[in-house]
Structure 1
Amino acid sequence: MPKSLNPFALIAERWQPSAKFVERAALATVVMAVIIVVTGGAVRLTDSGLGCSTWPTCTAQSLTPTKAMGLHGIIEFSNRMLTDVLCVFVGLAIVAARARTPWRRSLTRLGWAQFWLVMSNAVLGGIVVLTGLNPYTVGAHFLSATALLTVAVLMWQRAREGDGPARDLVARPVRQLAWLLVSAAGLLIVIGTVVTGAGPHAGDAHTVHRIPVDWREITQLHVDFVYVVIGLTVAMWFVLRAVDGPTTARRRVVELFAVLMSQGVVGYVQYATHLPEIVVGIHMLGSCLVWIAVLRVALALRERSYEVAGTAAVPAQDSAVPAAV
């Protein structure tokens, strides 16, 4: 496409965002991804999952909720509209990354990956409604939102470092332990999704199909994996101290441990108080924070230099940021 017809090139000619602006735009997509997860949980916890009875319109005759649909319709439709807000932030991150010189293709690819995840998850959300809150589609909807959060964190990380080859800061066994931690945390989230699909908060006041397992037993498995993740986190801290690992990585592990402890307290409170909606919502927020913290631990074990065409480049004053999170 000729440069004159490329809208991104035209924007780049007229606007040069700073590296800090690109970083903040990427961080904004992380925040919005968390908000989407939490508000999606609010839809389920307020029994508003079918507040809009169809998709993409709210009813067969109306794009927006009608007065007769009450608060449930407003809540469900508001969550749908947040997807548009998320698209705005993702679009801003893409445009900012593309407009900055030199153009970093790695950043724009991560931005476009977020865009397509948002689009696919919007369609999946429609399938959730059209299938009457089938727990398997609801679970897939949540896991897709977690995938979006993952890519958003990766883009935020890449915005804070260079495009040179990744350089490991620790030995291979330490990296393997980190990825074991990531895998265990991922399984923890998946099992938590099954707990949601089998538990009492179905998303609608009427009878909704649930995953045919005892939610108390699957909750116990979820708790067991919490202990596994905590154990791996503690092991990671001791290993990093033993090998004199990067200070940033050790700090990230401490942050992860603090988030895990907070999430554990919330988890026990929600179980002891028979799953009140507000506490379950806080627990969903905590799951996002745990996942972000786990990813940041793994990403802190390598760095990328600022290189251009094989030559180490000194970053501009506005982009002098640490190489690793």
Structure 2
Amino acid sequence: MQPQTIARLTTIAVVSNVVVQILIIGTGGAVRLTGSGLGCSTWPNCEPGQFTPSFHDATSIHPYVEFGNRVLGAVVVLVALLVVALVQASRVSGVRPAPTIAYQRLAVLPLVLSVLQAVLGGLTVRFELHPALVGSHFLISAVLVWISAWLVTGWFRPMRSRPVLGAGARRLGWAMATVAGVVVILGMIVTGSGPHSGDADVGYRFAVDPVAVARLHSASVWVFSALLVAFTVVTHRADGGAPASRMRRHTWVLVVVTLVQGAIGYVQYFTGLPELLVGMHMVGAALLVAATAFTLASMYERSPRAALTN
């Protein structure tokens, strides 16, 4: 296979990887919001001796929601496997610039963690939606989105050189990313402590005060927003030509995602947590993680692949 063909296929794979990692959070949210966590009573089969759900007069939507999420999980693993294979092929086939050893190692992580997710999904069914397993499922997906976003950046702009921002500003960016992680973790606890915890028979999975933890989650969002405002100001003072302009664009995308996510959060809270808004909020959390990763990656000047191959 020609190096140009492998490079194009790798581009499709790394982009598809971040897309499916975000989509699986959406379908996982659908499982939780419809109370379909035990729609399939066993794993890897949906029912004992049967891989797919069985249709009969008493069939509910739950098996199909759960099985659909499992199918997408298999797609996620397949795409992650393709990423590993194509990145390795890019290195040995003469694609220029060749992926670095560090990039190859990073490319393996989505496959490893996606397989772990599949096993964790099985354990979640076996232990009847234990809250620690359900919460871990979501958090690992958030980590996968972060890694996948870095893979996209590293493929399209493989050569990192000088930083666009000073050391203090970069520390501010990483502090913002750390708080984003806290926001996501607290958001997971909020969902697990409320009526959309994932089990139709249990009103909550985490035995904490949902109002108190929601307020704590909201406070962390405000801290993140304050850091984002400060970071936005710093980026607009940066003088770095095209790299600085690109960093500002990524920052504004993050600002927009944050504003939309915050608006959805407050609207869902004051309207009784409608399922659609909760699901949108979960997907929004994945987009927030991706946008934060892209923004932090832009703190360094990066040469585009097209320029390096000419």
TM norm structure 1: 0.86
Moved more, 96-105 or 227-236: 96-105
Cα distance in 2 between the residues matched to 1:213 and 1:41: 21
Moved more, 296-305 or 72-81: 296-305
Secondary structure, in 3 states, of the residue corresponding to 1:25?
helix
In 1, are the aligned partners of 2:232 and 2:248 still within 8 Å (CA)?
A: yes
In the alignment, which of 231, 236, 241 is matched to residue 231 of structure 2? 236
In the alignment, which of 81, 85, 88 is matched to residue 78 of structure 2? 88
Q: Which residue of 2 aligns with 1:257?
A: 255
In the alignment, which of 30, 47, 55 is matched to residue 35 of structure 2? 47
Cα distance in 1 between the residues matched to 2:68 and 2:210: 30
Q: Which residue of 2 aligns with 1:38?
A: 26
C-alpha change, 1:257 and 1:209, in structure 2 (3 Å) is closer
One-letter code of the match for 1:238? V
Q: Which residue of 2 aligns with 1:316?
A: 309
In 2, are the aligned partners of 1:132 and 1:208 still within 8 Å (CA)?
A: no
Q: Which residue of 2 aligns with 1:60?
A: 48
Identity value in percent: 36
Aligned residues: 299
Cα distance in 2 between the residues matched to 1:306 and 1:73: 45
What is the CA RMSD across the aligned residues, in angstroms? 2.1
- Say whether 1:276 aligns with 2:277: no
- Say whether 1:28 aligns with 2:16: yes
One-letter code of the match for 2:139? L
Cα distance in 2 between the residues matched to 1:306 and 1:243: 20
Structure-to-structure mapping, 1:210-229, within 5 angstroms: 210-229=205-224
In 1, are the aligned partners of 2:196 and 2:203 still within 8 Å (CA)?
A: no
One-letter code of the match for 2:234? V
Could you tell me which runs of 5 or more consecutive residues in structure 2 were left unpaired when the two chains were aligned: none
In 2, are the aligned partners of 1:270 and 1:279 still within 8 Å (CA)?
A: yes
**1:99-119 Cα distance to aligned partner (Å, 9 max, x none):** 222442444322221111100
Cα distance in 2 between the residues matched to 1:198 and 1:236: 32
Structure-to-structure mapping, 1:281-320, within 5 angstroms: 281-305=279-303, 315-317=308-310
Q: Which residue of 1 aligns with 2:87?
A: 97
In 1, are the aligned partners of 2:195 and 2:204 still within 8 Å (CA)?
A: no
Cα distance in 2 between the residues matched to 1:314 and 1:300: 17
Cα distance in 2 between the residues matched to 1:222 and 1:208: 20
One-letter code of the match for 1:159? W
